[in-house]
Structure 1
């Protein structure tokens, strides 16, 4: 599936089944203002900075005005016009209705009972009529059946044929594929927004007073408070009640008015104590040099909860921050780079958060490592080796699943029972923790193939070429 940026409009409203519901439905999502403003700043500062400046408070006001002081059943699409105009921005090629261009994709469910292409559906009524054949070179239709079936409709049949006839009648070029796959038996393609592969390195260098790293993320406060309310209200309601403004204050106090190279792990303990919550049994997963794949796997399966999917990690992942001695506010001009000093604000945070996360692990845990890494697969200076592994003990952890994942293009440098992986296995034995080790775990391998469908290693049973 092609990589894409998600629209600001979609980010602002995602996960709200209805923001103002009928009288028999749930009420408006709590802390809606903070969530939407936070999502707005998160989008323009972190997700898609190319959008440019937006007045997120004004965007919220126009959104609220669309339904405030109105009968909930009498809110019209035109009431949201001002909101849409303020939030609108250029759309990437190959995506979305009026401004879509190039190759666009339509994914439909061939297992539903009320028609794969419902005539009264949102796509049929609002999006399809706005596709322009002077801008679109091809429409790709993917008809996907549920993994357990049934197969009710396919290309060229039923309502799918109705859609094909409409597209042909409007002189679009198109193709239709049933259960678009990777030539892997039984694989159902899942929509993914691919995430960047990054690592949490440990900084090792001397102190400086002029920093070369980027400054704190603009609107850091609004982003973090918004993420907090969003997490508690829509992502993980089981995390319990939390005071999001107070969490921000605890986080800020860890580095505010302090030398940005003298931040300790203990400085973050008040924040961790306030934000911490239980990790479901058997859902802890640790990683090194495989962050993007871990987050893809998490988003698709919902069977694991890495640190980045806890409230602690969710609030800060992908952000930058540090303080300065002369002001209680974050330093938005420059922060120490990873290698400029060891005890910088971000490095100390991830060390503290990782230790706290590992202490909460119980039951079966999973570890995903990179078998194609330039250095060792199990690096003795990684956060997993230095901090997290030491916190795992056989009183709480009953089993460890090791997954050694090679990059899609290889090389296959290390695998189970080989090199540094063998060292990790020996440590687990010494800790009396039972474990298994798998090379290129199939479910994760399928996710790697999403972006390189024709790669030879994406055939079952084959390894990347060394």
Structure 2
């Protein structure tokens, strides 16, 4: 009986200890960073002695006390931005004109790019941000100690010690930024490059001083090997551009700003997006390699191997989500890529651009180029032009990645998808299901023309079966709206292009 009593007592003690430990962790967040005081003071001296001695002398012990007093001996959910005012005042120094760099969703990249305030000075490159970067801290009500067990997250309470600090720091940083302002956004971020609720949107933009700012430059940079979810003029970036322009700012935007992209490539040197071409593409070498493919050769006996040197010289990476394939929509597809600048057909690449609309051939019995006549495809399949476009089309399809678009003509009586076309016989079978996440078919009908086929039509279903057998995800849309509007530019008075009365109403 005594043994049973001791056993029960032991279990009870263990349970109470376990329960006490669970109760001891009050918040979901991590506790205060170990050795916070030493890290803070060490960073302060590092900054004023090595990183940016131009800021002059600062009393690092005094800064620590001002920082600590903002949250110590207080409930960790009752810390306001103004509690840090003394610390910010003591730590403040000038933010150089034209050097401010704001950001969202790419903190580590920003730190690498600013290079410790040598290129730009982000908030964490200013002393008041530098000493607190990546740290966690909080205190407790009626206690002069730090809470190393747990600190509240933003979800638990908005006025926690860390978030209130960064709100105050962000406001101060924005108010003292001047000249050309730079904004670095992540085009691969889930939910969009520009969070409409965030420190930049809620605290920094409202505190920019318009009379001190000459321009705002936005850089949208995708992760290497990451998806291209957002770009200049699209989605959340357009929301940001429109907001800044409405506030009266001069705004420019660049996708995949090269200096930042090069920095990302340091970790992915072999990725296709990081392959560097020669400083100047040697156009004479490209011309010589083209001549080598057909000069002094039978114009009906050209091979893909003849064009390999040309392909290697003139090829370049194709951005993910930008490939646009087409069949029987030549004019419309290229008008669309010229107007949207968001997609590339084969003819928009260097290889396709150079040889689009051009014919060439040689003659084994006559030196030089044959300017008199060249064989048509109907005369011989392996003529120089046909073999070139088949070879280039194969490489274009192999390079496609992400979401791929296909523009087909639904007014063709024989069917929008033809197995004998370049798309149907070559490109479809050289798309890589490991690189292509989705294929979007845009089935366009000529304005005023017959609607011979829809997305449920026979040839489209045949195309879908081919693609599904190769494990592709496929969607199809009849008369994709942006392209249809482009068709109406040339046919504004056609009944298919009439605007709905509601769209003409004015307030």
TM-score range, shorter chain: 0.5 to 0.7
Secondary structure at 1:221's aligned position in 2? Answer: helix
Match of 1:250 in 2: 66
Specify which structure has the higher proportion of helix. 2
Alignment of 1:375-454 (within 5 A): 375-454=191-270
1:317 maps to what in 2?
133
Alignment of 1:62-461 (within 5 A): 210-299=26-115, 302-459=118-275
| Distance (Å, rounded) in 1 between the aligned partners of 2:116 and 2:61 | 31
* Contact 1:232–1:241 (Cα < 8 Å) also in 2: yes
Shift of 1:365: 1.1
Verify the 8 A CA contact 1:370 1:405 in the aligned structure 2. Answer: yes
Structure 1 portions without partners, runs of 5+: 1-207
Describe the superposition over 1:39-61 as per-residue Cα deviations: whole angstroms up to 9, x where unpaired. xxxxxxxxxxxxxxxxxxxxxxx
| Structure 2 Cα separation of the partners of residues 462 and 240 of structure 1 | 49
Q: Is the 8 A contact 2:101 2:182 kept in 1?
A: yes
In 2: Cα distance, 1:377 partner to 1:394 partner: 23
- Quick one: distance in 2 between partners of 1:383 and 1:219? 27
1:103-123 deviation per Cα after TM superposition (whole angstroms, max 9, x unaligned): xxxxxxxxxxxxxxxxxxxxx
Paired with 1:295 and 1:209, the residues of 2 have a C-alpha distance of 33
Q: How far did residue 394 of structure 1 move?
A: 2.6
Instruction: Give, in angstroms, the shift of residue 340 of structure 1.
Output: 1.9
Q: Give the match's secondary structure for 1:279.
A: coil
Contact 2:182/2:219 (<8 A) preserved: yes
Report how many aligned residue pairs link the two structures.
259
What is the SS of the residue equivalent to 1:416? coil
Asked whether the 8 Å contact 2:117–2:125 carries over to 1, the reply is no
Q: Once the 2 structures are TM-superposed, how far is the Cα of residue 428 of structure 1 from its aligned partner?
A: 1.6
Higher relative CO (CA 8 A, sep ≥ 6), structure 1 or 2?
1
- Work out whether residues 25 and 150 of structure 2, in 8 Å CA contact, stay in contact via their aligned partners in 1: no
Larger radius of gyration: 2
TM-score (normalised: structure 1): 0.54
In structure 2, distance between residues paired with 1:347 and 1:449: 32
Work out the CA distance in 1 between the residues paired with 2:94 and 2:116. Answer: 21
SS at match of 1:328: strand
C-alpha separation between the residues in 2 aligned to 1:300 and 1:454? 27
> Aligned residue for 1:134?
none
Task: Judge conservation of contact 1:403–1:437 (CA < 8 Å) in 2.
Answer: yes
Contact 1:393–1:431 (Cα < 8 Å) also in 2: no
Deviation for aligned residue 1:413: 1.2
Is this contact kept in 2: 1:272–1:353, CA < 8 A? yes
Q: Distance in 1 between matches of 2:51 and 2:117?
A: 15
Distance 1:260 1:383, change over 3 A: same
Find runs of 4+ consecutive structure 1 residues off by over 6 angstroms. Answer: none
